[in-house]
Chain A
Amino acid sequence: MLEVEGLAAGYLGERVIDEIDVEVRTGEAVAIVGSNGAGKTTLFRAIAGLLPTMAGRVVLDGKDFTRRPAHRRARAGIAYVPAERHLFPAMTLKSNLVLGAYPKRPDPATLELVYDLFPRLKERQRQHAGTLSGGEQQMLAVGRALMARPRLLMLDEPTTGLAPKIAQVAFEALEGLKSGGMTLLIAEQQVPLALSVADRGYVLENGRIRLSGASEELERNPEVRRAYLGVA
Protein backbone atom coordinates (compact mmCIF):
# COMPACT_ATOMS: atom_id res chain seq x y z
CA MET A 1 0.00 0.00 0.00
CA LEU A 2 2.73 2.45 0.99
CA GLU A 3 6.03 2.31 -0.84
CA VAL A 4 8.90 4.58 0.10
CA GLU A 5 11.77 4.32 -2.37
CA GLY A 6 15.23 5.81 -1.99
CA LEU A 7 13.84 8.65 0.12
CA ALA A 8 16.08 11.47 1.29
CA ALA A 9 14.93 14.44 3.36
CA GLY A 10 16.27 16.91 5.89
CA TYR A 11 16.66 20.52 6.84
CA LEU A 12 18.58 23.45 5.34
CA GLY A 13 19.99 21.31 2.54
CA GLU A 14 21.40 18.69 4.94
CA ARG A 15 20.14 15.17 4.44
CA VAL A 16 19.01 13.81 7.80
CA ILE A 17 17.70 10.60 6.25
CA ASP A 18 18.90 9.05 2.99
CA GLU A 19 18.32 6.00 0.82
CA ILE A 20 15.28 4.92 2.80
CA ASP A 21 13.25 2.01 1.44
CA VAL A 22 10.17 1.12 3.45
CA GLU A 23 7.13 -0.87 2.43
CA VAL A 24 3.85 -1.28 4.29
CA ARG A 25 1.23 -3.73 3.05
CA THR A 26 -2.51 -3.45 3.69
CA GLY A 27 -3.48 -4.66 7.15
CA GLU A 28 0.11 -4.80 8.38
CA ALA A 29 1.62 -3.14 11.43
CA VAL A 30 5.16 -1.98 10.77
CA ALA A 31 7.54 -0.45 13.32
CA ILE A 32 10.36 1.97 12.65
CA VAL A 33 12.67 1.69 15.63
CA GLY A 34 15.82 3.54 16.50
CA SER A 35 17.32 5.78 19.11
CA ASN A 36 16.57 9.43 19.61
CA GLY A 37 17.89 11.44 16.64
CA ALA A 38 18.05 8.46 14.28
CA GLY A 39 15.71 10.24 11.85
CA LYS A 40 12.36 8.62 12.61
CA THR A 41 10.45 11.89 12.85
CA THR A 42 12.15 13.26 9.73
CA LEU A 43 11.08 10.13 7.84
CA PHE A 44 7.48 10.46 9.04
CA ARG A 45 7.32 14.17 8.23
CA ALA A 46 8.60 13.46 4.73
CA ILE A 47 6.03 10.70 4.19
CA ALA A 48 3.23 12.98 5.46
CA GLY A 49 4.40 15.83 3.22
CA LEU A 50 5.35 18.27 5.98
CA LEU A 51 8.94 18.17 4.77
CA PRO A 52 9.98 18.32 1.11
CA THR A 53 11.75 15.25 -0.24
CA MET A 54 15.28 15.71 -1.59
CA ALA A 55 15.31 12.42 -3.47
CA GLY A 56 13.22 9.30 -3.89
CA ARG A 57 9.49 8.67 -4.02
CA VAL A 58 6.48 8.24 -1.75
CA VAL A 59 3.81 6.06 -3.37
CA LEU A 60 0.39 5.29 -1.88
CA ASP A 61 -1.77 2.66 -3.58
CA GLY A 62 0.29 2.96 -6.74
CA LYS A 63 -0.08 6.77 -6.91
CA ASP A 64 3.00 8.95 -6.65
CA PHE A 65 2.53 11.55 -3.90
CA THR A 66 6.12 12.79 -3.77
CA ARG A 67 5.25 16.27 -5.06
CA ARG A 68 1.85 16.51 -3.39
CA PRO A 69 1.30 18.84 -0.39
CA ALA A 70 0.46 17.46 3.05
CA HIS A 71 -3.27 18.16 2.90
CA ARG A 72 -3.61 16.16 -0.34
CA ARG A 73 -1.83 13.21 1.26
CA ALA A 74 -4.11 13.44 4.29
CA ARG A 75 -7.19 13.40 2.09
CA ALA A 76 -5.79 10.40 0.19
CA GLY A 77 -5.72 8.43 3.44
CA ILE A 78 -2.35 9.03 5.10
CA ALA A 79 -3.13 9.98 8.70
CA TYR A 80 -0.08 11.16 10.63
CA VAL A 81 -0.15 11.59 14.41
CA PRO A 82 2.98 13.57 15.28
CA ALA A 83 4.61 13.30 18.69
CA GLU A 84 3.71 16.96 19.34
CA ARG A 85 0.11 16.08 18.38
CA HIS A 86 -0.79 19.47 16.86
CA LEU A 87 -4.31 19.57 18.27
CA PHE A 88 -6.53 22.67 18.13
CA PRO A 89 -6.21 23.82 21.76
CA ALA A 90 -8.98 26.43 21.90
CA MET A 91 -11.58 24.10 20.41
CA THR A 92 -13.59 21.46 22.20
CA LEU A 93 -12.53 17.88 22.02
CA LYS A 94 -15.56 17.15 19.87
CA SER A 95 -14.69 19.93 17.40
CA ASN A 96 -11.20 18.47 17.11
CA LEU A 97 -12.71 15.11 16.20
CA VAL A 98 -15.17 16.69 13.76
CA LEU A 99 -12.30 18.44 11.99
CA GLY A 100 -10.58 15.09 11.62
CA ALA A 101 -13.18 14.23 8.97
CA TYR A 102 -12.55 17.47 7.02
CA PRO A 103 -13.83 18.30 4.41
CA LYS A 104 -16.63 15.81 4.98
CA ARG A 105 -19.20 15.89 7.76
CA PRO A 106 -18.18 13.43 10.45
CA ASP A 107 -19.60 9.96 10.12
CA PRO A 108 -21.56 9.09 13.32
CA ALA A 109 -20.49 5.44 13.17
CA THR A 110 -16.80 6.43 13.04
CA LEU A 111 -17.32 8.81 15.94
CA GLU A 112 -18.87 6.00 17.97
CA LEU A 113 -15.94 3.78 17.07
CA VAL A 114 -13.49 6.38 18.37
CA TYR A 115 -15.51 6.82 21.57
CA ASP A 116 -15.59 3.04 22.04
CA LEU A 117 -11.84 2.88 21.63
CA PHE A 118 -11.27 5.78 24.04
CA PRO A 119 -14.29 6.15 26.40
CA ARG A 120 -12.38 8.97 28.14
CA LEU A 121 -12.87 11.15 25.07
CA LYS A 122 -16.63 10.81 25.21
CA GLU A 123 -16.71 11.88 28.87
CA ARG A 124 -14.75 15.01 28.04
CA GLN A 125 -16.14 15.91 24.63
CA ARG A 126 -17.12 19.45 25.67
CA GLN A 127 -13.75 20.22 27.23
CA HIS A 128 -11.18 22.33 25.36
CA ALA A 129 -8.34 20.28 23.92
CA GLY A 130 -5.78 22.57 25.55
CA THR A 131 -6.95 21.53 29.02
CA LEU A 132 -6.46 17.77 28.53
CA SER A 133 -3.74 15.70 30.16
CA GLY A 134 -0.91 14.27 28.05
CA GLY A 135 -2.52 10.86 27.78
CA GLU A 136 -5.90 12.31 26.84
CA GLN A 137 -4.27 14.53 24.23
CA GLN A 138 -2.60 11.49 22.72
CA MET A 139 -5.97 9.67 22.60
CA LEU A 140 -7.55 12.72 20.98
CA ALA A 141 -4.77 12.96 18.38
CA VAL A 142 -5.26 9.31 17.44
CA GLY A 143 -9.05 9.74 17.50
CA ARG A 144 -8.86 12.80 15.25
CA ALA A 145 -6.70 10.87 12.78
CA LEU A 146 -9.18 7.97 12.78
CA MET A 147 -12.13 10.25 11.97
CA ALA A 148 -10.98 10.48 8.34
CA ARG A 149 -11.15 6.65 8.07
CA PRO A 150 -7.54 6.60 6.89
CA ARG A 151 -5.89 3.95 4.75
CA LEU A 152 -2.71 4.21 6.80
CA LEU A 153 -2.27 5.42 10.37
CA MET A 154 1.21 6.74 11.18
CA LEU A 155 2.08 7.21 14.84
CA ASP A 156 5.24 9.00 15.92
CA GLU A 157 6.34 8.07 19.44
CA PRO A 158 2.80 7.37 20.68
CA THR A 159 4.05 6.72 24.21
CA THR A 160 6.34 9.72 24.67
CA GLY A 161 5.54 11.57 27.87
CA LEU A 162 3.06 8.95 29.03
CA ALA A 163 3.35 7.07 32.31
CA PRO A 164 4.34 3.41 31.72
CA LYS A 165 0.90 2.21 32.72
CA ILE A 166 -0.85 4.54 30.26
CA ALA A 167 1.69 3.65 27.56
CA GLN A 168 0.65 0.03 28.03
CA VAL A 169 -3.01 1.03 27.62
CA ALA A 170 -2.13 3.00 24.48
CA PHE A 171 -0.47 -0.03 22.95
CA GLU A 172 -3.45 -2.19 23.81
CA ALA A 173 -5.60 0.30 21.87
CA LEU A 174 -3.21 -0.09 18.94
CA GLU A 175 -3.57 -3.87 19.13
CA GLY A 176 -7.33 -3.33 18.95
CA LEU A 177 -7.00 -1.10 15.86
CA LYS A 178 -4.75 -3.61 14.19
CA SER A 179 -7.12 -6.51 14.75
CA GLY A 180 -9.85 -4.25 13.33
CA GLY A 181 -7.89 -4.22 10.07
CA MET A 182 -6.10 -0.84 10.34
CA THR A 183 -2.74 -0.52 8.62
CA LEU A 184 -0.19 0.93 11.02
CA LEU A 185 3.24 2.50 10.78
CA ILE A 186 4.71 3.22 14.21
CA ALA A 187 7.93 4.99 15.18
CA GLU A 188 9.16 4.13 18.67
CA GLN A 189 12.18 4.40 20.89
CA GLN A 190 10.69 1.78 23.16
CA VAL A 191 11.74 -1.07 20.91
CA PRO A 192 10.28 -4.07 22.78
CA LEU A 193 6.86 -2.41 23.04
CA ALA A 194 6.87 -1.51 19.33
CA LEU A 195 7.99 -4.94 18.18
CA SER A 196 5.32 -6.59 20.32
CA VAL A 197 2.59 -4.94 18.21
CA ALA A 198 4.31 -4.88 14.82
CA ASP A 199 4.51 -7.68 12.28
CA ARG A 200 7.72 -6.31 10.83
CA GLY A 201 10.24 -3.69 11.72
CA TYR A 202 12.97 -1.48 10.33
CA VAL A 203 15.92 -0.36 12.43
CA LEU A 204 16.91 3.22 11.63
CA GLU A 205 20.42 4.39 12.51
CA ASN A 206 21.96 7.74 11.58
CA GLY A 207 19.32 8.35 8.97
CA ARG A 208 19.65 5.01 7.18
CA ILE A 209 17.91 1.67 7.38
CA ARG A 210 20.34 -0.60 9.16
CA LEU A 211 18.26 -3.76 9.47
CA SER A 212 14.80 -4.97 8.63
CA GLY A 213 12.74 -8.08 9.08
CA ALA A 214 9.93 -9.79 10.91
CA SER A 215 9.50 -8.66 14.52
CA GLU A 216 10.54 -12.03 16.01
CA GLU A 217 13.61 -12.05 13.80
CA LEU A 218 14.62 -8.59 15.01
CA GLU A 219 13.94 -9.51 18.63
CA ARG A 220 16.36 -12.44 18.24
CA ASN A 221 19.01 -10.43 16.41
CA PRO A 222 22.07 -10.06 18.69
CA GLU A 223 22.82 -6.50 17.51
CA VAL A 224 19.26 -5.36 18.21
CA ARG A 225 19.30 -7.11 21.58
CA ARG A 226 22.50 -5.38 22.56
CA ALA A 227 21.57 -1.90 21.31
CA TYR A 228 17.85 -1.66 22.08
CA LEU A 229 16.66 -4.46 24.29
CA GLY A 230 19.20 -3.99 27.04
CA VAL A 231 20.49 -7.54 26.77
CA ALA A 232 24.23 -8.14 26.92
Chain B
Amino acid sequence: MTAAILDGVVLGLAYGLLGVGMTLVYGLGGVLNLAYGQIVVLAAIVASVVMEDGRATLLAALVGVAAAAGVSVLLDLTLMRPVYRQHGEERTLLGLLLTLGAAFVIGGVLTWRYPFGALYIDITGDPVSILGVPMTRGSIWASVMALAVAALLLLFFGGTTFGRGVRSVIQDETGARLVGINPSFVRTVIFALSGALAGVVAIANGMSAPLEVSAGFKLTTFALIVTVVGGLGSVAGAFLAGVLLGVVDSLSAHYIGQYYTIMILLGAAALTILIRPRGLLGR
Protein backbone atom coordinates (compact mmCIF):
# COMPACT_ATOMS: atom_id res chain seq x y z
CA MET B 1 0.00 0.00 0.00
CA THR B 2 2.69 2.52 1.03
CA ALA B 3 4.76 1.39 -1.93
CA ALA B 4 1.87 1.95 -4.33
CA ILE B 5 1.21 5.40 -2.88
CA LEU B 6 4.87 6.42 -3.10
CA ASP B 7 5.06 5.18 -6.69
CA GLY B 8 1.94 7.21 -7.33
CA VAL B 9 3.50 10.36 -5.93
CA VAL B 10 6.57 9.91 -8.16
CA LEU B 11 4.33 9.37 -11.17
CA GLY B 12 2.08 12.22 -10.09
CA LEU B 13 4.83 14.81 -9.92
CA ALA B 14 5.63 14.11 -13.56
CA TYR B 15 1.90 14.32 -14.39
CA GLY B 16 1.86 17.66 -12.59
CA LEU B 17 4.58 19.06 -14.83
CA LEU B 18 2.74 17.72 -17.86
CA GLY B 19 -0.45 19.41 -16.67
CA VAL B 20 1.27 22.75 -16.02
CA GLY B 21 2.58 22.86 -19.58
CA MET B 22 -0.88 22.18 -20.96
CA THR B 23 -2.86 24.37 -18.56
CA LEU B 24 -0.76 27.52 -18.99
CA VAL B 25 -1.12 27.52 -22.77
CA TYR B 26 -4.85 26.92 -22.40
CA GLY B 27 -5.26 29.61 -19.77
CA LEU B 28 -3.46 32.18 -21.91
CA GLY B 29 -5.30 31.72 -25.14
CA GLY B 30 -7.93 29.00 -24.98
CA VAL B 31 -5.85 26.54 -26.99
CA LEU B 32 -5.48 22.91 -25.89
CA ASN B 33 -2.20 21.74 -27.35
CA LEU B 34 -2.99 18.22 -28.58
CA ALA B 35 0.60 17.84 -29.79
CA TYR B 36 1.88 18.11 -26.24
CA GLY B 37 2.56 14.40 -25.73
CA GLN B 38 4.42 14.24 -29.04
CA ILE B 39 6.64 17.11 -27.89
CA VAL B 40 7.49 15.10 -24.78
CA VAL B 41 8.35 12.16 -27.03
CA LEU B 42 10.42 14.42 -29.28
CA ALA B 43 12.52 15.51 -26.29
CA ALA B 44 12.94 11.87 -25.26
CA ILE B 45 14.07 10.72 -28.69
CA VAL B 46 16.45 13.65 -29.17
CA ALA B 47 17.99 12.97 -25.75
CA SER B 48 18.32 9.24 -26.47
CA VAL B 49 20.00 9.92 -29.83
CA VAL B 50 22.51 12.26 -28.19
CA MET B 51 23.18 9.64 -25.51
CA GLU B 52 23.72 6.89 -28.10
CA ASP B 53 26.24 9.22 -29.66
CA GLY B 54 28.26 8.68 -26.50
CA ARG B 55 27.68 12.09 -24.92
CA ALA B 56 27.16 12.76 -21.23
CA THR B 57 23.64 12.15 -19.93
CA LEU B 58 23.30 15.69 -18.60
CA LEU B 59 24.19 17.16 -21.99
CA ALA B 60 21.73 14.80 -23.70
CA ALA B 61 18.99 15.87 -21.27
CA LEU B 62 19.67 19.56 -21.89
CA VAL B 63 19.67 19.08 -25.67
CA GLY B 64 16.37 17.20 -25.38
CA VAL B 65 14.77 19.98 -23.34
CA ALA B 66 16.11 22.64 -25.70
CA ALA B 67 14.78 20.76 -28.73
CA ALA B 68 11.29 20.57 -27.21
CA ALA B 69 11.34 24.27 -26.33
CA GLY B 70 12.63 25.17 -29.80
CA VAL B 71 9.97 23.17 -31.65
CA SER B 72 7.32 24.74 -29.40
CA VAL B 73 8.46 28.27 -30.27
CA LEU B 74 8.42 27.30 -33.93
CA LEU B 75 4.84 26.02 -33.57
CA ASP B 76 3.79 29.22 -31.81
CA LEU B 77 5.32 31.48 -34.46
CA THR B 78 3.86 29.56 -37.40
CA LEU B 79 0.89 27.29 -36.74
CA MET B 80 -0.56 29.24 -33.81
CA ARG B 81 -0.57 32.69 -35.45
CA PRO B 82 -3.78 32.15 -37.44
CA VAL B 83 -5.32 30.50 -34.36
CA TYR B 84 -4.85 33.55 -32.14
CA ARG B 85 -6.31 35.80 -34.83
CA GLN B 86 -9.63 33.99 -34.28
CA HIS B 87 -11.81 34.43 -31.22
CA GLY B 88 -14.12 32.29 -29.11
CA GLU B 89 -15.22 28.95 -30.51
CA GLU B 90 -13.41 29.42 -33.81
CA ARG B 91 -10.12 29.80 -31.96
CA THR B 92 -10.72 26.72 -29.83
CA LEU B 93 -11.67 24.57 -32.83
CA LEU B 94 -8.88 25.77 -35.10
CA GLY B 95 -6.43 25.28 -32.22
CA LEU B 96 -7.60 21.71 -31.68
CA LEU B 97 -7.41 20.85 -35.38
CA LEU B 98 -4.00 22.37 -36.03
CA THR B 99 -2.33 20.97 -32.91
CA LEU B 100 -3.85 17.57 -33.67
CA GLY B 101 -2.30 17.84 -37.13
CA ALA B 102 1.04 18.76 -35.57
CA ALA B 103 0.71 15.74 -33.25
CA PHE B 104 0.37 13.40 -36.24
CA VAL B 105 3.24 15.02 -38.11
CA ILE B 106 5.68 15.00 -35.19
CA GLY B 107 4.60 11.55 -34.02
CA GLY B 108 4.71 10.20 -37.57
CA VAL B 109 8.19 11.50 -38.35
CA LEU B 110 9.57 10.18 -35.07
CA THR B 111 8.02 6.72 -35.50
CA TRP B 112 9.27 6.57 -39.09
CA ARG B 113 12.85 7.57 -38.27
CA TYR B 114 13.12 5.88 -34.87
CA PRO B 115 10.59 3.01 -34.81
CA PHE B 116 12.27 1.47 -31.77
CA GLY B 117 13.32 4.75 -30.17
CA ALA B 118 13.06 4.98 -26.42
CA LEU B 119 14.65 7.02 -23.66
CA TYR B 120 15.94 5.19 -20.65
CA ILE B 121 18.31 6.91 -18.29
CA ASP B 122 19.80 4.24 -16.08
CA ILE B 123 20.87 5.68 -12.77
CA THR B 124 23.05 3.21 -10.94
CA GLY B 125 23.07 2.71 -7.21
CA ASP B 126 21.20 0.68 -4.66
CA PRO B 127 17.58 1.49 -3.93
CA VAL B 128 17.04 3.94 -1.08
CA SER B 129 14.56 3.15 1.65
CA ILE B 130 11.86 5.74 2.11
CA LEU B 131 9.15 5.06 4.72
CA GLY B 132 10.35 1.47 4.61
CA VAL B 133 9.82 1.18 0.88
CA PRO B 134 12.83 0.65 -1.37
CA MET B 135 12.75 3.33 -4.11
CA THR B 136 15.07 3.29 -7.12
CA ARG B 137 17.55 6.13 -7.40
CA GLY B 138 16.00 7.02 -10.77
CA SER B 139 12.58 7.59 -9.22
CA ILE B 140 14.06 9.71 -6.47
CA TRP B 141 16.02 11.85 -8.91
CA ALA B 142 12.95 12.23 -11.09
CA SER B 143 10.89 13.40 -8.09
CA VAL B 144 13.55 15.82 -6.90
CA MET B 145 13.75 17.28 -10.39
CA ALA B 146 9.98 17.67 -10.65
CA LEU B 147 9.77 19.32 -7.22
CA ALA B 148 12.63 21.68 -8.02
CA VAL B 149 10.98 22.72 -11.28
CA ALA B 150 7.65 23.16 -9.48
CA ALA B 151 9.29 25.43 -6.89
CA LEU B 152 10.95 27.46 -9.64
CA LEU B 153 7.62 27.83 -11.43
CA LEU B 154 5.83 29.02 -8.30
CA LEU B 155 8.60 31.54 -7.64
CA PHE B 156 8.45 32.70 -11.24
CA PHE B 157 4.68 33.21 -11.26
CA GLY B 158 4.39 34.60 -7.76
CA GLY B 159 7.46 36.74 -7.45
CA THR B 160 8.55 38.13 -10.80
CA THR B 161 7.10 41.00 -12.78
CA PHE B 162 6.88 38.90 -15.93
CA GLY B 163 5.26 36.04 -14.01
CA ARG B 164 2.60 38.42 -12.73
CA GLY B 165 2.16 39.66 -16.27
CA VAL B 166 1.47 36.11 -17.43
CA ARG B 167 -1.22 35.70 -14.76
CA SER B 168 -2.76 39.00 -15.73
CA VAL B 169 -3.16 37.87 -19.36
CA ILE B 170 -4.87 34.70 -18.10
CA GLN B 171 -7.31 36.73 -15.99
CA ASP B 172 -8.11 39.61 -18.34
CA GLU B 173 -6.33 39.98 -21.64
CA THR B 174 -7.70 43.45 -22.36
CA GLY B 175 -6.70 44.62 -18.90
CA ALA B 176 -3.21 43.26 -19.52
CA ARG B 177 -2.90 45.19 -22.79
CA LEU B 178 -4.03 48.35 -21.01
CA VAL B 179 -1.20 48.12 -18.47
CA GLY B 180 1.35 47.67 -21.26
CA ILE B 181 1.66 43.89 -21.58
CA ASN B 182 2.00 42.30 -25.01
CA PRO B 183 -0.15 39.13 -24.84
CA SER B 184 1.32 37.75 -28.04
CA PHE B 185 4.87 37.89 -26.64
CA VAL B 186 3.69 36.37 -23.34
CA ARG B 187 2.08 33.50 -25.25
CA THR B 188 5.27 32.80 -27.20
CA VAL B 189 7.37 32.73 -24.02
CA ILE B 190 4.87 30.44 -22.29
CA PHE B 191 4.68 28.13 -25.31
CA ALA B 192 8.46 27.85 -25.09
CA LEU B 193 8.22 27.23 -21.34
CA SER B 194 5.61 24.54 -21.87
CA GLY B 195 7.95 22.92 -24.41
CA ALA B 196 10.80 23.00 -21.89
CA LEU B 197 8.47 21.43 -19.30
CA ALA B 198 7.63 18.70 -21.82
CA GLY B 199 11.37 18.08 -22.05
CA VAL B 200 11.70 17.85 -18.27
CA VAL B 201 8.79 15.38 -18.18
CA ALA B 202 10.56 13.25 -20.79
CA ILE B 203 13.79 13.19 -18.78
CA ALA B 204 11.98 12.52 -15.48
CA ASN B 205 9.97 9.71 -17.07
CA GLY B 206 13.04 8.21 -18.67
CA MET B 207 14.72 7.93 -15.29
CA SER B 208 12.12 5.60 -13.81
CA ALA B 209 11.00 3.60 -16.86
CA PRO B 210 11.73 3.58 -20.60
CA LEU B 211 9.77 6.25 -22.50
CA GLU B 212 8.87 4.86 -25.91
CA VAL B 213 8.23 6.63 -29.18
CA SER B 214 4.57 5.58 -29.18
CA ALA B 215 3.74 7.23 -25.83
CA GLY B 216 2.59 10.57 -27.31
CA PHE B 217 -1.18 10.31 -27.21
CA LYS B 218 -1.19 8.64 -23.82
CA LEU B 219 0.81 11.57 -22.45
CA THR B 220 -1.51 14.10 -24.08
CA THR B 221 -4.48 12.33 -22.52
CA PHE B 222 -2.88 12.46 -19.06
CA ALA B 223 -2.06 16.15 -19.55
CA LEU B 224 -5.69 16.85 -20.50
CA ILE B 225 -6.99 15.01 -17.44
CA VAL B 226 -4.62 16.85 -15.10
CA THR B 227 -5.59 20.16 -16.70
CA VAL B 228 -9.29 19.55 -16.18
CA VAL B 229 -8.95 18.30 -12.62
CA GLY B 230 -6.43 20.93 -11.53
CA GLY B 231 -8.25 23.93 -12.91
CA LEU B 232 -7.44 25.80 -16.08
CA GLY B 233 -4.50 28.14 -15.78
CA SER B 234 -3.55 27.12 -12.23
CA VAL B 235 0.03 25.95 -11.66
CA ALA B 236 -0.49 24.81 -8.06
CA GLY B 237 -3.76 23.13 -9.09
CA ALA B 238 -2.03 21.17 -11.83
CA PHE B 239 0.54 19.83 -9.37
CA LEU B 240 -2.06 18.93 -6.79
CA ALA B 241 -4.14 17.18 -9.44
CA GLY B 242 -1.05 15.49 -10.85
CA VAL B 243 -0.10 13.97 -7.51
CA LEU B 244 -3.70 12.96 -6.70
CA LEU B 245 -4.15 11.32 -10.09
CA GLY B 246 -0.74 9.69 -9.85
CA VAL B 247 -1.76 8.04 -6.59
CA VAL B 248 -5.13 6.98 -8.02
CA ASP B 249 -3.33 5.63 -11.07
CA SER B 250 -0.83 3.66 -9.03
CA LEU B 251 -3.40 2.28 -6.58
CA SER B 252 -5.80 1.21 -9.30
CA ALA B 253 -2.96 -0.37 -11.30
CA HIS B 254 -1.92 -2.21 -8.15
CA TYR B 255 -5.32 -3.43 -6.98
CA ILE B 256 -7.61 -3.41 -10.01
CA GLY B 257 -5.40 -3.72 -13.06
CA GLN B 258 -3.50 -1.56 -15.50
CA TYR B 259 -6.17 -1.61 -18.19
CA TYR B 260 -8.81 0.07 -16.08
CA THR B 261 -6.52 2.87 -14.91
CA ILE B 262 -7.07 5.23 -17.82
CA MET B 263 -10.84 4.78 -17.53
CA ILE B 264 -10.73 5.55 -13.83
CA LEU B 265 -8.67 8.69 -14.51
CA LEU B 266 -11.02 9.84 -17.27
CA GLY B 267 -13.88 9.16 -14.86
CA ALA B 268 -12.19 11.38 -12.28
CA ALA B 269 -11.92 14.15 -14.89
CA ALA B 270 -15.57 13.78 -15.89
CA LEU B 271 -16.62 13.86 -12.26
CA THR B 272 -14.61 17.04 -11.73
CA ILE B 273 -16.40 18.73 -14.61
CA LEU B 274 -19.76 17.75 -13.08
CA ILE B 275 -19.01 18.63 -9.45
CA ARG B 276 -16.43 21.39 -9.67
CA PRO B 277 -16.15 22.70 -13.25
CA ARG B 278 -13.36 25.10 -12.32
CA GLY B 279 -11.14 22.27 -11.13
CA LEU B 280 -9.47 21.94 -7.74
CA LEU B 281 -7.80 25.35 -7.73
CA GLY B 282 -9.22 26.96 -10.89
CA ARG B 283 -9.93 30.63 -11.01
Closest to B282 in A: A90
- Determine if B161 and A102 form an interchain contact, defined as CB atoms under 8 angstroms apart: yes
Q: Does B86 contact A (CB under 8 A)?
A: no
Name the interface residues of B161-195: CB closer than 8 Å to any CB of A: 161-162, 164-165, 167-168, 171-172, 174-183
Q: For residue A105, which residues in chain B have a CB less than 8 angstroms away from its CB?
A: 161
Q: What is the interface of chain B mostly: helix, strand, loop, or mixed?
A: helix
Q: Does B254 contact A (CB under 8 A)?
A: no
A49 to B183, CA, bound (A): 14
Q: Does B283 contact A (CB under 8 A)?
A: yes
- Determine if B161 and A86 form an interchain contact, defined as CB atoms under 8 angstroms apart: no
Q: Give the total of A residues in contact with B, Cβ under 8 Å.
A: 29
Given A71-B180, A86-B175, A91 and B168 touching (CB < 8 A)? Answer: yes
- Determine if A74 and B178 form an interchain contact, defined as CB atoms under 8 angstroms apart: yes
- Determine if A99 and B179 form an interchain contact, defined as CB atoms under 8 angstroms apart: yes
- Determine if A103 and B161 form an interchain contact, defined as CB atoms under 8 angstroms apart: yes
Q: For residue A102, which residues in chain B have a CB less than 8 angstroms away from its CB?
A: 161, 164-165, 168, 179-181
- Determine if A70 and B177 form an interchain contact, defined as CB atoms under 8 angstroms apart: yes
Given A82-B174, A89-B172, A69 and B182 touching (CB < 8 A)? Answer: yes
Q: What is the interface of chain A mostly: helix, strand, loop, or mixed?
A: loop
B230 to chain A, nearest CB (A): 15
- Determine if B177 and A87 form an interchain contact, defined as CB atoms under 8 angstroms apart: no
Among A87, A90, A100, which residue has the most Cβ atoms of chain B within 10 A?
Answer: A90
A48 to chain B, nearest CB (A): 7
- Determine if B164 and A86 form an interchain contact, defined as CB atoms under 8 angstroms apart: no
Q: Does A190 contact B (CB under 8 A)?
A: no
- Determine if B180 and A86 form an interchain contact, defined as CB atoms under 8 angstroms apart: no
Q: For residue A87, which residues in chain B have a CB less than 8 angstroms away from its CB?
A: 172, 175
Given A71-B181, A144-B179, A103 and B165 touching (CB < 8 A)? Answer: yes
Q: Mark B190-217, 1 if CB is under 8 A from A, else 0.
A: 0000000000000000000000000000
Q: For residue A195, which residues in chain B have a CB less than 8 angstroms away from its CB?
A: none
Chain B contact-residue range equals 10 to 19
Closest to A129 in B: B171
Question: CB < 8 Å: which of B167, B171, B179 contacts A100?
Answer: B179
Question: CB < 8 Å: which of B167, B175, B180, B283 contacts A103?
Answer: B180
A142 to chain B, nearest CB (A): 12
A80 to B164, CA, bound (A): 20
- Determine if B164 and A71 form an interchain contact, defined as CB atoms under 8 angstroms apart: no
A148 to B181, CA, bound (A): 12
Q: Does A115 contact B (CB under 8 A)?
A: no
Q: Does A50 contact B (CB under 8 A)?
A: yes
- Determine if B164 and A95 form an interchain contact, defined as CB atoms under 8 angstroms apart: yes
- Determine if A82 and B178 form an interchain contact, defined as CB atoms under 8 angstroms apart: yes
Question: CB < 8 Å: which of B165, B176, B179 contacts A148?
Answer: B179
Closest to B182 in A: A71
Q: Mark B131-171, 1 if CB is under 8 A from A, else 0.
A: 00000000000000000000000000000011011011001
Q: Does A225 contact B (CB under 8 A)?
A: no
A204 to chain B, nearest CB (A): 22
Closest to A49 in B: B177
A49 to chain B, nearest CB (A): 8
Closest to B233 in A: A90
Closest to A88 in B: B171
Q: For residue B174, which residues in chain A have a CB less than 8 angstroms away from its CB?
A: 50, 82, 86
Closest to A79 in B: B178
Question: CB < 8 Å: which of B171, B176, B177 contacts A89?
Answer: B171
Q: Does A122 contact B (CB under 8 A)?
A: no
Q: For residue B177, which residues in chain A have a CB less than 8 angstroms away from its CB?
A: 49-50, 69-71, 74
Q: Does A98 contact B (CB under 8 A)?
A: yes
A102 to B160, CA, bound (A): 11
Q: For residue B283, which residues in chain A have a CB less than 8 angstroms away from its CB?
A: 89-90
A-B contact pairs, 12 of them (CB 8 A): A48-B178, A70-B178, A71-B180, A74-B180, A88-B176, A89-B172, A90-B283, A99-B168, A100-B179, A102-B179, A103-B180, A144-B179
Q: Which 4 residue pairs across A and B have the least CB separation, nearest first?
A: A86-B175, A74-B180, A70-B177, A75-B180
Query: Which residues in B have some Cβ–Cβ distance to A below 8 Å?
Result: 161-162, 164-165, 167-168, 171-172, 174-183, 283
Instruction: Using A88-B175, A88-B176 as known contacts, list a sample of 11 further A-B pairs with CB atoms less than 8 Å apart, ordered by residue number in A.
Output: A80-B178, A85-B175, A87-B172, A87-B175, A90-B171, A91-B168, A95-B164, A99-B179, A103-B162, A103-B181, A145-B178
Query: Which residues in A have some Cβ–Cβ distance to B below 8 Å?
Result: 48-50, 69-71, 74-75, 79-80, 82, 85-91, 95, 98-100, 102-105, 144-145, 148
